[in-house]
Structures are given as structure tokens and as C-alpha cells.
Amino acid sequence: MIDPKIESALKAALTAFSHYNNIDAAPLITKFKSVFASDEDFLGKADMLDEVFDDNPNIESLREVFFDLLMVNFFSADVKKLEDDYLESPEWEEIEEETLDRGTELLNLLLYLNECEDEDIEPELSDYLKEFLLVDEDEFQDEYRIYEPVIENQILMESPVSEISRVAKALPGDSEIKEIFYPLMCFFHGVAAGEYEKEKIAANAIEKDSDMAVLEILISFN
């Protein structure tokens, strides 16, 4: 099964990536839909996903972002076909262990946006950090460490996107949030970004194709 919201996010990402990379990645939507809608188990789908990226190296920068989408699709669509307690089963624990090094922090943000929709609240950076990630709680210090650049730079919500770009470029290469810092901050900076705002975001992007693909995923989810 494929969640309609995930299908829209896939299309939005590939369209944006194509636009800013001067390649035509949009036709790949059919292949990705086949992966996400497959009856394979989660690890089987992950292997199928990797095969599409292995065959299309020009979209490699989207691999782990699409893995995040695969995970969200599993939670929202595939899990409905499984037993109620599947996500607490030894089988799922084993899958989590096998995929520890996969995906990005985009997964948490997408789950947060789903929660915002369920609770009918507007996404907001402080709410994401404190109420969803619980970065102020002692037992969630891993999240605090990962999101420290975001926590320390919340003032950027009052700054132009050029300043967000400057801070993003200065993040150390081993920062776990570096990959999505710019689109994440730009999303919260203008949750309902119109075309003019998107043009400014694109003009200041670090990696235009992947940054704008991630931004379009977030916008489509919201």
C-alpha cells in the first residue's frame, strides 16, 4: 500500500529535484510507487528502493530521504495489514537494529507533521523541539545533541533565509542534522511558503536540488 500523502511527497520531491538539477527525474515516480505499493516486507521494500537508486545515480542525494518516506509509509499504510502490536514485536526490533544507520532526521519531522495534522495544530519550531522531541528532558539528551545547532539558532526564525544559509554552511561535516538543517529551518521560517518565498530559499540553498526536494516534501506533508 502507498499512503496518498507519501505519493504526493514523492512526486513533489522528484519534480523539484528535476527542476533544480536540469534532469528529468519525474518519470521515476512510477518505479518508486511500485516499490512503496509492493507486498514485500519492509526490508524487501528497502532493497527494492536501493535498486532504483543504484540504477539512477544522478538522484543519489535523495536515497536516505526516500528511505525516511518509506518508513513513514510503513507506519501509516503497511502496518494496517499487520497485527496491532507489530511495532513492539521482536521482528520489528530486529528491523530497527538492521536499519539504524539508514535515513535522516527528516523522519522525525514527518512524524511530527502527521501529529500536527491529527491534533489540528500549526507546526512550529519550538513546539517540535520541546513537545515532540522533548529536548529539554534529561532522558532525551541524544535528541538534544543532534538538534543542538537548531536549538541554538532558533533566532533564525526572525532572520532572512540568507542567514539560515550562512549558518547551514558553517555546520561541521559530522553534524547529524547538517543534511536537512537548511530545508528544515526554511520550512519553519515560512510554513506556508509561496512561490516568491521558494525562489528566495532556492537562491540561498546549499544543494539546490536536494534542499528544494526536501522542502517540497515538507510543504506537501503540511
Among 59, 101, 73, 91, residue whose Cα is nearest residue 207: 59
pLDDT (0 to 100) of residue 192: 61
pLDDT (0 to 100) of residue 191: 60
Which pLDDT tens digit goes with each residue over 19-54? 998 888 878 999 999 999 998 989 999 999 999 999
Whether 80 has a pLDDT exceeding 90, the answer reads no
